[in-house]
Structure 1
Amino acid sequence: MHRDLPGRLIDEHTLGRLTALADLDPGLVVDDFTTPEAAAALAGAEVIISSWGCPPLDETVLAAAPRLRAVIHAAGSVKHHITDACWQRGIQVTSAAWANALPVAEYTVATVLAANKQLLRIREDYRDRRAPYDWQRAYAGVGNYHRTVGIVGASRIGRRVLDLLRPHDLDLLLHDPYVDAAEAARLGARGVGLDELCAASDVVSIHAPQLADTLHLIDGRRLALMRDGATLVNTARGSLVDQDALVRELVSGRLDAVLDVTVPEVLPADSPLYALPNVVLTPHIAGSLGRELHRMAAAAADELARWTAGRPFAHPVRAEDAHRTA
C-alpha cells in the first residue's frame, strides 16, 4: 500500500489484532515489489494485506512469493493489483469493498433526501430574498413523500442504498441487467429499463461499475429524458456519464447534480461545475474518509482471523465475478 497510509488506515486496536494473528512487521510497508526489503518479505509471505497503492501482483511478483496463498485487501476494488496470474495460481482474495460501500451509501441517501427537498434551489432563493416569504406556496411540490428514486446498478452500494431508502416512503426503481423483476422486488424496488428509469425518476443515482460497456451509460439522450428539476447523483465513476452533455444540462439550469466523481478526477480550474448553484461537487470523498478508514482495516483483521483459523473468507472476491464488478 502507499507508505503513508497505515497510520491513517489502521488504528491501535486493529494493529494489535493483526500482530497477534500473524508474524507481521508493522514497520514494513511496501509500495514497490522490486526492492530488496520487498523481495525478502515476499519469499516467506503466506498472506499479503493490501490497500490503496499496492503494485500489481503479476507473474514476476508471484514467482518471488512461492508460499503466498491469500491477499486480504483493506480497501474496495482489487482490479488494480489482482492479476490473471493470481487467479491462475489459485490465490484466495478478499476485499473490504462491503465496508467501503457503507459510507458511500450513507452519502448517497443524504443527498437523495436533500435533493427531493430542493435544498440547493431553496438555498439560492433564500439567499436572494433575505425576507419573509411564503415557502409553502412557492415549493408546494417538493418533499420526499412518494418521490421516485432510480437506482442504476444493484452493486453492494446500490443494494445498501435501496435498503437505507426503504423506510422513507419513496417509490424505488432499479435498473441492472443482471437482476430480474423478482430479485428487484425482493430489494424493495421495481425493475425497469434504463430509459424508463431516467424518464420517471426525480433522482437518478448511479452505482454501476466502470466497465467498457458502461462508458457514458448516462449519455446526452438519457439526460434529456430526465424530468425538469430532476437530480443526477454520481458516486460511482465519472466515465459513466457523458460529462459534456451533463454540463450543458446543468448550465441551462434544467437539472441538478451531486457529483463526487468527474473526468478528470480533479477538474480544470475553469470548469463551470465549481461555481454552478445547482451542483454539489465533492472530491471523491463519499467512500471511506477519516475515521471510516478504520472500518476497512478492522474488516481485514476479521478476514485474517478467519484465515488463521482455517475458515473461508466472509467476503471473497471470485475470478468469475471480476469482469462485472468495480
Structure 2
Amino acid sequence: MTTDVWLPFEADEIQGLPDASKAGFAYRHWDGGADFPADPADCVFYAVPYMKGGEVAVRPLPAMTSLRVVQTLTAGIDHVQPGLPGLAPGVQVCNARGVHEASTAELALTLILASLRGVPRFVEGQRRQEWRSGFYPALADKSVLIVGHGAIGSAVEDRLTPFECARVARVARSARDTERGPVHPLTELPALLPEADVVVLCTPLTEDTRGLVDAGFLARMKDGALLVNVARGSVVDTAALLTELESGRLIAALDVTDPEPLPAGHPLWHAPGVLISPHVGGSTSAFLPRAHRLLAAQLTRFAEGRPLDNVVHRTAG
C-alpha cells in the first residue's frame, strides 16, 4: 500500500504529526510548485496548497490514483470541486472548519463597522487634511441578516452580540433551530431582505449559491442597506451590484470579488459606497498554528484508522 502524504508545509514545521516510520508515511512537501515532490500515484493524503488557486489545487488530482483523503485549508471546497469527479470512489474531502472562523468573523465585523462609521471617508479626509465630522450610522439598533449560518456565520453572530443589534436573522440551505433563534431556509430570503440594514454573506459557493445575490436579491434590500461579502465573489452578480452602488441606493464591503483578484481599472474599485479588502478573511496570524493543528489531528486519525473530522464530501467515482 502506498503511503505518501503531500503537505503544503515542511513536515518538521508541524508539531504533533504522526511519526513517519511508525505510521508508514512518507511526508512530501508540495506548495504548488511546477515540479511534484514525488509520483502523485503514491499519494494517499493530499493537503491542498493554500491560496494558490483552483488550477494549482486540481493539477495533481488526475494522477492521484491511490488517493483516500483531500484536505483543504479553506472553509470551502469549490477550488478542488472540478477535480473530484475523476477520483476513485470513496475519497473523503475535508474542509478546514476550525481554522478560519475567528479571523473571517473579525474581518466581517471590521468591514461592517468601518463602512457604517465612515472609516474610509475619515482616511480620505486625513490624506487631504480635512476634518470630516458629522453624524454616521451605528451598528447599534440595526437589523442584521446572516446568509449562510455555518461555522463562519455562527462566529459572525457571536461577535455581533455585544453591539446591541435590534435583530439578527439567519438563513441557510435548510431550516433548523439554534440557541439564539431559528435559521430560515433560503426560500424565505425574499421576505427577510427588506427588513435588514446589514446583509452578511457567509455562504459556501455551490451551484445553488452562485449568483444568488442578483438584481432581484439586491432590489429587495432596503434603501441604504449595507451588503458585506466574506463568502466567495461569485455569490454576487457584480454587474447588478455595480448598478445599485452607482445609483447610491446600497453600499457594500467586499473581501471577495468576481473577478478576483480585481484587475486595475475595474469599475468596482471606484464605485461609490464600496469598501474592498483583498480576500484576507482567513489570512492572519491565526492561520498557521490552526492549520498545523488541523493537519496533525487529521493525520493522527488517518494513521489510527479513526473517522476524520470535517468530511464534507465523498467521491462516487
Shorter-chain TM range is: 0.7 to 0.9
| 1:1-326 alignment, distance < 5 Å | 6=8, 13-14=13-14, 16-18=15-17, 20=19, 22=23, 28-29=29-30, 31=32, 38-39=38-39, 42-43=41-42, 45-52=43-50, 53-55=56-58, 61-62=64-65, 65=66, 68-79=67-78, 80=80, 83-84=84-85, 86=87, 89-120=89-120, 130-131=130-131, 135=134, 138-139=135-136, 142-170=137-165, 171-180=167-176, 183=177, 185-188=178-181, 191=184, 193-276=188-271, 278-289=273-284, 292-319=287-314
Q: 1:72 to 1:132 in 2, by over 3 A?
A: closer
Uncovered stretches (5+) of structure 2, i.e. residues with no partner:
1-6, 51-55
Higher strand proportion (structure 1 or 2):
2
Mapped partners of 1:128, 1:56: distance in 2? 48
Mapped partners of 2:41, 2:34: distance in 1? 8
After TM superposition, give the deviation of residue 13 of structure 1 in Å: 4.5
After TM superposition, give the deviation of residue 147 of structure 1 in Å: 1.0
TM-score, normalised to structure 2, is: 0.77
Q: 1:233 to 1:11 in 2, by over 3 A?
A: farther
The one-letter amino acid paired with 1:92 is Q
The one-letter amino acid paired with 1:253 is G
Higher helix proportion (structure 1 or 2):
1
Note if contact 2:209-2:235 (Cα within 8 Å) is conserved in structure 1.
yes
Mapped partners of 1:11, 1:254: distance in 2? 51
Q: Percent identity?
A: 31
Uncovered stretches (5+) of structure 1, i.e. residues with no partner:
none
Mapped partners of 1:99, 1:263: distance in 2? 24
Q: 1:203 to 1:12 in 2, by over 3 A?
A: farther
Mapped partners of 2:132, 2:253: distance in 1? 29
Q: 1:78 to 1:223 in 2, by over 3 A?
A: closer
After TM superposition, give the deviation of residue 100 of structure 1 in Å: 2.7
Note if contact 1:94-1:315 (Cα within 8 Å) is conserved in structure 2.
yes
> What RMSD, in angstroms, separates the aligned Cα atoms of the two structures?
3.5
Mapped partners of 1:201, 1:10: distance in 2? 46
TM-score, normalised to structure 1, is: 0.75
The one-letter amino acid paired with 2:171 is H
Q: 1:11 to 1:298 in 2, by over 3 A?
A: farther
Deviations for 1:162-205, whole angstroms, at most 9, x for unmatched residues? 2222333221012224124xx1x534466372123321111111
